[in-house]
Structure 1
Amino acid sequence: MLTQDSEVVPVPAWPFSLLVFSCGGCWSVTPKMLRNLLALRQIGQRTISTASRRHFKNKVPEKQKLFQEDDEIPLYLKGGIADALLYRATMILTVGGTAYAIYELAVASFPKKQE
């Protein structure tokens, strides 16, 4: 136990909690540093363990109606503009990557002549 102004500060039971490494300087662990560390640990535990659950509206029925209606739009484009942009970007990268791979294969199949 560490004391400061007759206040008792519990020392955590973590291994190596009081070890402080220094590079030539003289470092010390003060009771205030330990209190701050304990407070930070409690805040972190409280935030994770007792976080309130957010309630979201169930959008599944709406999405089911959207994706099941027969409107001649491909399924992978029914999500709107974002789906269309992702689809086009994927196609451009796929076609471009295939073309580049074929080009590199052609370059590798005809080695340069050494003089």
Structure 2
Amino acid sequence: MNRHIFALQQVARRTISSSVRRQVDNKVPQKQKMFQEDNGMPIHLKGGTSDALLYRTTMALTILGAGYVVYELVKAAFPQKKD
């Protein structure tokens, strides 16, 4: 049993330490340039259509949630009478 665990540890260590790192382009300077340019857009919408979609979804959920909270508070403030 110990022999199997030891072999598994060696295989796991070997695959992690000998893996080749992929070369990834550094996109930070391009993103900084895009977000720092003065084009009159708010910072939370400069990311493109995905940011706009995320913003609109967040606002819709916030409004729906606030409306539901108000509804529940009104319902709790005026309980129905039992006959």
- TM-score by length of structure 1 reads 0.62
Task: Give distance in 2, aligned partners of 1:44 and 1:112.
Answer: 65
2:2 to 7, 12, 16: 12
Kindly report which structure 2 residues correspond to 1:34-113, keeping only aligned pairs within 5 A, or say none: 34=4, 40-113=8-81
Q: CA RMSD in A?
A: 2.0
* Higher share in strand: 1
* Structure 2 gaps, min length 5: none
1:53 aligned counterpart, secondary structure: coil
Q: Which has a greater percent of helix?
A: 2
Greater Cα shift, 37-46 or 67-76: 37-46
Structure 2 length normalisation: TM-score?
0.83
Cα distance in structure 2, aligned partners of 1:107 and 1:47 = 61
- Structure 1: stretches of 5+ with no match in the other structure: 1-10, 14-33
Q: Percent identity?
A: 53
Please state how far the C-alpha of 1:53 moved relative to its aligned partner. Answer: 2.1
Aligned residue-pair number: 83
In 1, Cα distance between equivalents of 2:69 and 2:13: 51
- State the one-letter code of the partner of 1:86: L
What secondary structure, in the 3-state scheme, does the structure 2 residue paired with 1:113 have?
coil
